[in-house]
Structure 1
Amino acid sequence: MSNIEIALTIPTACWPMLSVCRYPLGMSGGQILDEDISASSQWSESTAARYGRLDFEEGDGAWCPEITVEPDNLKEFLQIDLRSLHFITLVGTQGRHAGGIGNEFAQMYKIKYSRDGSRWISWKNRQGKQVIEGNRNAYDIVLKDLDPPIIARFVRFMPVTDHSMNVCMRVELYGCEWLDGLVSYNAPAGEQMNSPSYPIYLNDSVYDGAVIYSMTEGLGQLTDGVCGLDDFTHSHVWPGYDYVGWNNESFPSGYVEIMFEFDRTRNFTTMKVHCNNMFSQHVKAFRQVVCYFRSDLDWEASPLSFSPVVDEKNPSARFVTVNLANHMASAIKCHFYFADAWMLFSEITFQSDTAMYNTTLAPPKTGPPNIQPDDPTHKVDDSNTRILIGCLVAIIFILVAIIVIILWRQVWQKMLEKASRRMLDDELTASLSIQSETFTYNHNPNQSGTTSEQESNSTYERIFPLGPDYQEPSRLICKLPEFAQSSEDPVQDGVPHYAEADIVNLQGVTGSNTYAIPAVTMDLLSGKDVAVEEFPRKLLTFKEKLGEGQFGEVHLCEAEGMQEFMNKEFLFDIAEDLPVLVAVKMLRSDANKNARNDFLKEIKIMSRLKDPNIIRLLAVCIYSDPLCMITEYMENGDLNQFLSRHEPEGQLAQLSNAPTVSFNNLCYMATQIASGMKYLSSLNFVHRDLATRNCLVGKKYTIKIADFGMSRNLYSGDYYRIQGRAVLPIRWMSWESILLGKFTTASDMWAFGVTLWEILNYCKEQPYSQLTDEQVIENTGEFFRDQKRQIYLPQPVLCPDSLYKVMLCCWRRNTKERPSFQEIHQALLEIQP
Structure 2
Amino acid sequence: MRDFRFRVEFQAGVVGVSVASLRAEGCKWRCGTDGATLSPAGYEWVGWKNDSRQQQPVEITFEFETVRNFSAVHIYTNNFFTKDTQVFSRARVLFSVGGEHYHAQPPVEFEYVVDRIFETARNVTIRLHGATAKYVKLQLFFALRWILISEVAFDSEPCRCNQTEEAPPVTPTEVVDETAVPVVPAHSTSSDFLVGGLVALGVVFGVVPVTLCVLYYRSRLTRKASKISLSKANGGETKKVSMKMKDLHINMNLSQLSNGYSRAKGNLYGHVSMDEEASAMYQEPYKGPLHNPGYHTLGHTVHPPDVPLKCPLPPDTDDSVDYAVPGMNVTPPPPFSDVYSPPPPVPLTRPPMTKGLALDYPTLPPPTPPIPPPPKQHYFTASQVCQPVSIQGPAGNVAFIVSEASELTQARCVPDIAGKNLRVMETLGEGVFGSIQVCEMRGAPSGEAETVLVKCLNSRVDEAVREEFLQEAQVLSCISDINVAQLVGLTSQEPLCIIHEYLQHGDLHQFLRRHAPENPTSVMQRAAFKDGSECPVLSYGALVYIATQVASGMKHLEKLNIVHRDLAARNCLVGEGLLVKVSDLAMSQNRYHRDYCRVSEDSTLLPVRWMAWESVLQGRFSSKSDVWAFGVTLWEILTLARQQPYAELSDDGVLENVSHCCHGDGAAMMVLPQPPLCPREMYDMMTACWRPGDRQRPPFWEVLMFLQRKNLGYCLDYPE
The structure where strand makes up a greater share of residues is 1
Question: TM-score band (shorter)?
Answer: 0.3 to 0.5
* Higher RCO structure (Cα 8 Å, ≥6 apart): 1
Using the size of structure 2 for normalisation, the TM-score is: 0.43
